[in-house]
Amino acid sequence: MNAGEELEGTTLKVYVYLIGEGKPLGPRDVMRDLNLSSPSVAYRHLQKLENFGLVQKNNYGQYTVKEKVNIKGHLWVGRNLVPRLIFYSFFFMGILTAEIVIMTVRLLNAEMPQLDFLFLTFTTTIATLVFLLEGTKLLLKVKGE
């Protein structure tokens, strides 16, 4: 099992935060910016990341990211961790856009959309919304909001 599969909860939030900041940070910075209860709580999660080999501590007691690992169900986009579900929602959004364009062209040509096409568009809309909502929930969970 790799470290990316073991990261969860606050430790994952600390890891994502360190990557997002892209500079050395101490336990007090982490505590303050992630609204943790004390520097010792931040320190415990930083130590956990150090034990996984993902961060390293410098001579000033600050931590920097040593390795960026894959997190199950997520993709790195630059310094941002994005749930795969968000990308799936974009895929369905593209299909939905094409369906709406087809329906608009048919309406402009005075053709009524067929019932099966309307059902397909409805289904695509639901899929887009479900993936987008679930992906957003995961994104907020990782960001700690």
Assign residue 12 the CATH number of its domain.
1.10.10.10
Q: How far apart (Å, rounded) are the C-alpha atoms in residues 22 and 43? A: 18
Sequential pLDDT tens for the chain (145 residues): 466 667 888 999 999 999 999 899 999 999 999 999 998 999 999 999 999 999 999 999 899 999 889 988 899 999 889 999 999 999 999 999 999 999 899 888 888 878 888 999 999 999 999 999 999 999 988 876 5
Number of domains forming the structure of the chain: 2
Please check whether residue 99 lies inside any domain of the structure: yes
Residues 107 and 54 in one domain: no
Q: How far apart (Å, rounded) are the C-alpha atoms in residues 35 and 100? A: 44
Please check whether residue 70 lies inside any domain of the structure: no
Domain membership of residue 7 as a residue range: 3-65
Please check whether residue 83 lies inside any domain of the structure: yes
Residues 44 and 90 in one domain: no
Predicted model pTM: 0.76
Q: How far apart (Å, rounded) are the C-alpha atoms in residues 138 and 11? A: 15
Exposed, middle or buried: residue 47 (CB in 10 Å: 0-12, 13-18, 19+)? Answer: middle
